[in-house]
Structure 1
Amino acid sequence: MPFVRFTRIFCLPPLAAAVTLLAACASNGAVHGRATSEVSALYAQLDQATQGYDTALQQVRAGNDAAGQKTLEQALDTLKNASVRCGSTAGCDPQRFFSAYDHMLRLKDGSSIGDEGMNEEPQTGMALDQGSIAALPEAQRSVTLLHGQKLSELIAMNGAVKAALQMWLTQWRPNLIDAWINYQYLRHEMWPAYKDADLPEALLFGIMAQESGGKVHAVSRSGAAGPLQFMYATGMRFGLTNSDGFDLRFDPAASARANAAYMNEQLQVFNDNLELTLAAYNAGEGRMRRLVGPDTTVSFYDPRIYNQLSQQTRDYVPSVLAAAWLFLHPDSYNLRFPRIDGVAGSITLQRPASIDELTVCLGSAGGMEEGWFRTLRNLNPRLDPQQEQPAGVVLQVPKLLEKSYASRCVDGPWPILAADLHAAAAPVVVDPAPPPPAEPARTRHYKVRRGDTLVGIVRKLRCSSVQEVAEMNHLRHHHIAVGQVLKVPECR
Structure 2
Amino acid sequence: MMKPTFARTSPRWLTVMLSGLLSACAGGATRHAPASAEQLYGRLDQAGKSYELALQQAREGHASAAEKTLDAALDELKDAAARCPATAGCDPQRFFAVFDRLLRLKDGSFFAGDDADLVGGGPEAGHTGSEVSPAAASLPQAQRSVTLLRGQKLSELIAMNGPVKAALEMWLTQWRPNLMDAWVNYQFMRYQMWPSYQQAELPEALLFGILAKESGGKVHAVSRAGAAGPLQFMYATGLRFGLSSDGGFDQRFDPALAARANAEYLDEQLKAFNNNLELVLAAYNGGEGRIRRMVGDDPSVSLYDPRIYNQLSQETREYVPAVLAAAWLFLHPESYNLRFPKIEGAPGEIVLKRPASLTELTVCLGSAGGMYDGWFRTLRNLNPRFDPQAQQPAGSRLAVPKELEKAYAARCVDGPWPILAADLHQAVVPAVIETPSAGRPGAARVAARTRSYTVRRGDTLSSIAHRSSCASVQDLAELNGLGRQALKPGQVLRLPVCR
For Structure 1 versus Structure 2, the TM-score category normalised by the shorter chain is 0.7 to 0.9
Residue 171 of structure 2, aligned match among 155, 168, 171: 168
- Per the alignment, do residues 397 and 274 of structure 1 end up closer, same or farther by CA in structure 2, a change over 3 Å counting? same
Q: Which residue of 2 aligns with 1:60?
A: 58
Q: Which residue of 2 aligns with 1:444?
A: none
Q: Is the Cα–Cα contact under 8 Å of residues 107 and 142 in structure 2 kept in the other structure?
A: no
Q: Deviation string for 1:230-276 (max 9, x for gaps)?
A: 00000000000001110000000000000000000000000000000
- Per the alignment, do residues 374 and 386 of structure 1 end up closer, same or farther by CA in structure 2, a change over 3 Å counting? same
Matches of 1:69 and 1:385, distance apart in 2: 55
Q: Is the Cα–Cα contact under 8 Å of residues 83 and 98 in structure 1 kept in the other structure?
A: no
Equivalent residue pairs, number: 390
Of 43-52 and 88-97, deviating more is: 43-52
- Say whether residues 1:231 and 2:234 are aligned partners: yes
Secondary structure of the residue aligned to 2:275 is coil
Residue 48 of structure 2, aligned match among 31, 47, 50: 50
Secondary structure of the residue aligned to 2:218 is coil
Q: Is the Cα–Cα contact under 8 Å of residues 107 and 145 in structure 2 kept in the other structure?
A: no
Q: Is the Cα–Cα contact under 8 Å of residues 76 and 101 in structure 1 kept in the other structure?
A: no
Alpha-carbon shift at residue 374 of structure 1 (Å): 0.2
Amino acid at match of 2:340: F
Matches of 1:272 and 1:166, distance apart in 2: 27
Q: Which residue of 1 aligns with 2:432?
A: 429
- When normalised by structure 1's length, the TM-score is 0.72
Q: Which residue of 1 aligns with 2:94?
A: 96
What's the % identity of the aligned pairs?
70
- Per the alignment, do residues 60 and 299 of structure 1 end up closer, same or farther by CA in structure 2, a change over 3 Å counting? same
Matches of 1:85 and 1:363, distance apart in 2: 54
Alpha-carbon shift at residue 143 of structure 1 (Å): 2.5
Q: Which residue of 1 aligns with 2:243?
A: 240
Q: Which residue of 1 aligns with 2:29?
A: none
Secondary structure of the residue aligned to 1:216 is coil
Amino acid at match of 1:94: P
Q: Deviation string for 1:14-54 (max 9, x for gaps)?
A: xxxxxxxxxxxxxxxxxxxxx94698998798578536514
Alpha-carbon shift at residue 136 of structure 1 (Å): 3.8
Amino acid at match of 2:178: N
Q: Which residue of 2 aligns with 1:110?
A: 108
Alpha-carbon shift at residue 77 of structure 1 (Å): 9.4
Q: Which residue of 2 aligns with 1:407?
A: 410
Matches of 2:71 and 2:250, distance apart in 1: 47
- Per the alignment, do residues 316 and 346 of structure 1 end up closer, same or farther by CA in structure 2, a change over 3 Å counting? same
Amino acid at match of 2:100: D
- Say whether residues 1:344 and 2:342 are aligned partners: no
Alpha-carbon shift at residue 100 of structure 1 (Å): 1.1
Alpha-carbon shift at residue 434 of structure 1 (Å): 3.2
- Per the alignment, do residues 379 and 48 of structure 1 end up closer, same or farther by CA in structure 2, a change over 3 Å counting? same
Matches of 1:82 and 1:176, distance apart in 2: 35
Amino acid at match of 1:197: A
Q: Is the Cα–Cα contact under 8 Å of residues 348 and 393 in structure 1 kept in the other structure?
A: yes
Q: Is the Cα–Cα contact under 8 Å of residues 278 and 320 in structure 2 kept in the other structure?
A: yes
Alpha-carbon shift at residue 433 of structure 1 (Å): 3.3
Q: Which residue of 2 aligns with 1:251?
A: 254
Q: Deviation string for 1:417-476 (max 9, x for gaps)?
A: 101101111123221233799xxxxxxxxxxxxxxxxxxxxxxxxxxxxxxxxxxxxxxx
Which runs of no fewer than 5 residues in structure 1 stay unpaired?
Answer: 4-34, 112-129, 438-492
Q: Which residue of 2 aligns with 1:390?
A: 393
Amino acid at match of 2:344: D
Matches of 1:369 and 1:61, distance apart in 2: 43
Q: Is the Cα–Cα contact under 8 Å of residues 108 and 142 in structure 2 kept in the other structure?
A: no
Q: Which residue of 2 aligns with 1:477?
A: none
- Per the alignment, do residues 190 and 90 of structure 1 end up closer, same or farther by CA in structure 2, a change over 3 Å counting? farther
Matches of 2:359 and 2:170, distance apart in 1: 33
- Say whether residues 1:277 and 2:277 are aligned partners: no
Alpha-carbon shift at residue 94 of structure 1 (Å): 1.4
Q: Deviation string for 1:150-169 (max 9, x for gaps)?
A: 11111011111111111111
Residue 159 of structure 2, aligned match among 156, 170, 173: 156
Residue 329 of structure 2, aligned match among 326, 329, 340: 326
Matches of 1:74 and 1:320, distance apart in 2: 36
Alpha-carbon shift at residue 86 of structure 1 (Å): 5.4
Q: Deviation string for 1:177-229 (max 9, x for gaps)?
A: 11000000000000000000010000000000000000000000000000000
- Per the alignment, do residues 329 and 46 of structure 1 end up closer, same or farther by CA in structure 2, a change over 3 Å counting? same
Amino acid at match of 2:388: P
Matches of 1:394 and 1:343, distance apart in 2: 17
Matches of 1:90 and 1:436, distance apart in 2: 84
CA RMSD of aligned residues (A): 3.3
Q: Is the Cα–Cα contact under 8 Å of residues 202 and 327 in structure 1 kept in the other structure?
A: yes
Instruction: Tell which structure's C-alpha radius of gyration is larger.
Output: 1
Of 420-429 and 43-52, deviating more is: 43-52
Matches of 2:181 and 2:71, distance apart in 1: 28
Secondary structure of the residue aligned to 2:398 is strand
- Say whether residues 1:141 and 2:139 are aligned partners: no
Alpha-carbon shift at residue 360 of structure 1 (Å): 0.3
- Per the alignment, do residues 181 and 85 of structure 1 end up closer, same or farther by CA in structure 2, a change over 3 Å counting? farther
Q: Is the Cα–Cα contact under 8 Å of residues 2 and 69 in structure 1 kept in the other structure?
A: no
Alpha-carbon shift at residue 278 of structure 1 (Å): 0.4
Matches of 1:208 and 1:154, distance apart in 2: 19
Matches of 1:77 and 1:232, distance apart in 2: 56
Alpha-carbon shift at residue 306 of structure 1 (Å): 0.7
- Per the alignment, do residues 85 and 345 of structure 1 end up closer, same or farther by CA in structure 2, a change over 3 Å counting? farther
- Per the alignment, do residues 372 and 431 of structure 1 end up closer, same or farther by CA in structure 2, a change over 3 Å counting? same
Q: Which residue of 2 aligns with 1:364?
A: 367
- Say whether residues 1:192 and 2:190 are aligned partners: no
- Per the alignment, do residues 101 and 431 of structure 1 end up closer, same or farther by CA in structure 2, a change over 3 Å counting? same
- Per the alignment, do residues 380 and 64 of structure 1 end up closer, same or farther by CA in structure 2, a change over 3 Å counting? farther
